[in-house]
Structure 1
């Protein structure tokens, strides 16, 4: 759990890392970043960076903008979109507490994906 190194990692940093609240930075910060990477892989864009004029606007969006859940045709029941949205939740208490918990939830619906 390092800090967001500039410039390459700032686009996937969770709010608590931007705020440098060390006590809040744990595995859930990494899960936020994984959620952003999955969002990018599914949509081709970063939910916080798209249209931002500068790094400060990215920071603002990361802190305050709730991304529109990705639309994925193969996700017929919307569970993957919910999963990605959960991983990118602004509130660390609402993200999975562990990678194992995130994997368990993903495993519960991955068979429904038509990919």
Structure 2
């Protein structure tokens, strides 16, 4: 009797989790506002400039960008900066011999 609904829940568990996360964030029914799009474009520009600078100096960097899947387990192992993402900040994080950090952007 419960096999069908339980099977559907198990089968679509990742999609259901993602939908519930978006619903909890309030982004399930809303679209990005203009200010969020500008902030996103500025972040992309900062990441691109930092990668270009570090590439010329042969500085390695592993940058992850959170989208639908939460990265809380990885974020919890670092030191939160809670700063605005800029080219200078991002480049400074990856200069050799600096401690590991995780970044949580201010909203």
What is the TM-score when the length of structure 2 is the normalising length? Answer: 0.29
Structure number, greater radius of gyration: 2
What is the TM-score when the length of structure 1 is the normalising length? Answer: 0.27
